Structure 1
């Protein structure tokens, strides 16, 4: 894990007072986890800067999205700002069930993560967005490496999502190939879209991609919790995951000791909210307009001071 310290001294430019900086309950660092997609880096950086503005010592820790729960349960890590209902619910529920991790509420953002294709593919694959039509057109999505199977370009393997399980359970003639990074995933989409080349891939929202590119999410059999948990439920009575992915909130979680050691920070973390629209615009500023996460988070903080000041109000 890579540690980065971020202290209150670094956020004087946000208009802080000496009194505010003196009120943190403990100067032990609050460790916020950082992952590998732009939106999560933004939410975490915003939260870190707000906590630092209230006098807390903040450390950003690079951690795997699912594996981070071991550190949250042990108290080696303290706060994770984005657990997506679509991919992280099972791991979150297991961790909160131990009593060592607590759900800190919704972020205000609602998530969708699913297979997505550009609109131009409907000309060569009639019947889309139905998944059965997609499967019938699998060869249209093949690459030299996957032929005769179609290629589904998944997110980085650390994101979870059960794509391999879904392909097997639904008997799809596709091979799952994982992009190495978030940037690589959308670079492939940009390249394919410019060339009008076949592609079906993992796209998520809040994000700029569903706005920038014309396309649609694939429609799989509707998700139910039983579809994931009980193989007998769904169209394949022998296997689980024979349905689409869930949609729903993006959650915040924390080590259960946060509220005892840093009660003011816990209050601020629970109060944190941001909209899909704000997040999509910020991700676009970073990914498309070449701005840094620091620049974009600072701009949001400057424009929304009344909002975040209420999170840390005594």
Structure 2
């Protein structure tokens, strides 16, 4: 029997006895260390919910009480600092690097390491649009073919379909800095954004939209990200950086890590849980397939999570610290 099953079936006294027989301090064997629930945040996109439910399922296997709390992606850092929230499973370098670094520097939030997924989120278009807007994926092509992407509400400007406002992709600042004849229309939700991208793709209609990976859509739809000037330190803060010496945000989004973050006080309350969270790893392809099973195939999220847990027991068991 695994330690997980042993602890759950025998209870604290049995674990205490096992620790005594092996000469280990009893405190190192008592998992869960507290009956206080660990509060994991749920943000407003499917992939983050999958990551969170996967980690929550592992913590439950370890014997912890888990609570899921709906939280705004950016505002959740306030709760992580105060301890009202405990764990956020997906902090993307592309959109929240500064918030993450500020929170960690203050000492109240821990950087819990990378998830194993690599983030790209930026302006995306279907491959067939390169015939209608020659010069793509170079961003400068958008200056000459904005009318191709125009809608009745944005004419003569093109429409850029952004994500939810809370995701903060700096689209308005970028449009101004690069003098692009586009207007931002926010989709409001991931479901609305994906529905419009899918509809346009099926009809081969013009669309320029916010998209990201890991996700099912870049796996299913042939397309490209617009090639903006490469992000670098200073792009968001220093007007003298980049192609427009009078404006910030004259670059694409950064690309890189997706990390976990946690309330610093939790390391003393649930040390084994925090080790498991640090050990969490999954890749873009695995995540994209699960998101597709939920958003495209219509399968319940928890069912998809449960199947992954059943099919990958060796993987998630390796996240659990040895006693």
TM-score calculated relative to the size of structure 2: 0.91
| 1:237-248 matched pairs, under 5 angstroms | 237-248=245-256
User: Partners in 1 of 2:82 and 2:176 — Cα distance?
Assistant: 35
- Which position in structure 2 is the counterpart of 1:274? 282
- Which position in structure 2 is the counterpart of 1:284? 292
In the TM superposition, residue 16 of structure 1 has moved relative to its aligned partner by 5.7
Q: CA RMSD in A?
A: 1.4
Does 1:219 pair with 2:206? Answer: no
Does 1:146 pair with 2:154? Answer: yes
1:129-151 Cα shifts (integer Å, max 9, x gaps)? 11110221111101111111100
- Which position in structure 2 is the counterpart of 1:263? 271
- Which position in structure 1 is the counterpart of 2:50? 42
In the TM superposition, residue 225 of structure 1 has moved relative to its aligned partner by 1.7
1:197 counterpart (205, 212, 226):
205
2:5 counterpart (13, 17, 21):
17
- Which position in structure 2 is the counterpart of 1:10? none
In the TM superposition, residue 15 of structure 1 has moved relative to its aligned partner by 11
In the TM superposition, residue 26 of structure 1 has moved relative to its aligned partner by 0.5
- Which position in structure 2 is the counterpart of 1:160? 168
- Which position in structure 2 is the counterpart of 1:169? 177
In the TM superposition, residue 17 of structure 1 has moved relative to its aligned partner by 2.0
The alignment partner of 2:206 has SS state of coil
Provide runs of 4+ in structure 1 moved above 3 Å: none
**Higher gyration radius (CA):** 2
1:206 counterpart (192, 214, 226):
214
1:83-107 Cα shifts (integer Å, max 9, x gaps)? 0111110111111111100100000
Does 1:83 pair with 2:91? Answer: yes
The alignment partner of 2:183 has SS state of strand
User: Partners in 1 of 2:147 and 2:116 — Cα distance?
Assistant: 40
Structure 2: unaligned runs, 5 residues or longer: 12-30
In the TM superposition, residue 232 of structure 1 has moved relative to its aligned partner by 1.1
In the TM superposition, residue 20 of structure 1 has moved relative to its aligned partner by 3.8
Greater shift after overlay, 146-155 or 21-30?
Answer: 21-30
1:115 counterpart (98, 102, 123):
123
User: Partners in 2 of 1:225 and 1:91 — Cα distance?
Assistant: 15
User: Partners in 2 of 1:79 and 1:16 — Cα distance?
Assistant: 21
Pair 34,196 (structure 1): closer, same or farther in 2 beyond 3 Å: same
- Which position in structure 2 is the counterpart of 1:134? 142
Does 1:307 pair with 2:315? Answer: yes
